């Protein structure tokens, strides 16, 4: 087969089916259709896709990886002491004129199995960090990861995210609780 030629672009409405399919295939958590609608329409969510341009025509623009994220209000006091969990799930509409400090919360990140270990997840995270770094009001990028997901944990450590908390029973999957780690990447002098 041809040498992959990975390209990063915005997620579009016609990515909907493929985006849902990959989420179903690789995550243990079920995401609602409202979530996917928000992603593909760019409503309150920012996202990037990876595609392989070297694939045959009808697949050359098909998602092979993605990252989705949202803005969350940051408060100085909570940042000084890690995070206040009551605050970080509040979705905020980004408005730089308000001068409010924000964080970016990564919701989902995935690469289809056959394209793993080629630096695609690293590039997708870089897209988010570069974007966040360009916003003077953005203090950092953070996320949750289930405690047994070694690949993802290695990835975030490698990319200089800092693990700031272990949250007991954070995820409920098939009536079983699992711990999560909270990872943060601080930017703009935070």
Tell me if residue 14 falls in helix, strand or coil. Answer: helix
Under the binding rule (CB under 6 A), the answer on residue 140 touching ligand ACO is no
Decide if 43 contacts 37 (C-beta within 8 A).
yes
Listed ranges 11-19, 41-49, 80-88, 147-155: which one lies at the site for ligand ACO (CB under 6 A) = 147-155
Under the binding rule (CB under 6 A), the answer on residue 109 touching ligand ACO is yes
Q: How far is the CB of 96 from ligand ACO (least distance, A)?
A: 25
Q: How far is the CB of 111 from ligand ACO (least distance, A)?
A: 4
- Member of 13, 42, 82, 119 binding ligand ACO (CB under 6 A): 119
Q: How far is the CB of 69 from ligand ACO (least distance, A)?
A: 9
Decide if 139 contacts 186 (C-beta within 8 A).
yes
Residue 22's nearest CA partner among 127, 115, 159 is 115
Listed ranges 32-40, 83-91, 104-112, 168-176: which one lies at the site for ligand ACO (CB under 6 A) = 104-112
Tell me if residue 61 falls in helix, strand or coil. Answer: coil
The rounded distance, in Å, linking the Cα atoms of 124 and 68 is 9
Decide if 56 contacts 70 (C-beta within 8 A).
no
Under the binding rule (CB under 6 A), the answer on residue 22 touching ligand ACO is no
Name the residue nearer to ligand ACO (CB basis): 88 or 152: 152
Name the helix (H) or strand (E) containing 7. Answer: strand 6-9
Distance between terminal CA atoms of the chain? Answer: 45
Q: List contacts with ligand ACO (CB under 6 A).
A: 26, 106, 108-111, 116-122, 143, 145, 149-152, 154-155, 158
């Amino acid at each position: 087969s041809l040498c992959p030629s990975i390209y990063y672009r915005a997620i579009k409405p016609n990515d909907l089916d493929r985006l849902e399919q990959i989420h179903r295939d690789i995550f243990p958590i079920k995401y609602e259709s409202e979530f996917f609608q928000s992603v593909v329409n760019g409503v309150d969510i920012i996202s990037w896709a990876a595609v392989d341009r070297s694939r045959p025509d009808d697949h050359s623009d098909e998602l092979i990886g993605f990252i989705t994220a949202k803005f969350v209000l940051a408060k100085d006091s909570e940042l000084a002491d890690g995070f206040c969990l009551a605050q970080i799930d509040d979705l905020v509409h980004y408005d730089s004129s308000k001068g409010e400090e924000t964080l970016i919360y990564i919701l989902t990140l995935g690469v289809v199995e056959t394209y793993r270990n080629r630096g695609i997840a690293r590039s997708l995270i870089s897209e988010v960090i570069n974007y966040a770094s360009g916003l003077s009001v953005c203090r950092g990028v953070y996320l949750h990861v289930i405690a047994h997901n070694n690949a993802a944990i290695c990835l975030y450590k490698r990319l200089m995210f800092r693990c700031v908390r272990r949250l007991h029973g954070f995820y409920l999957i098939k009536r079983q609780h699992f711990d999560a780690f909270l990872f943060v990447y601080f930017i703009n002098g935070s």
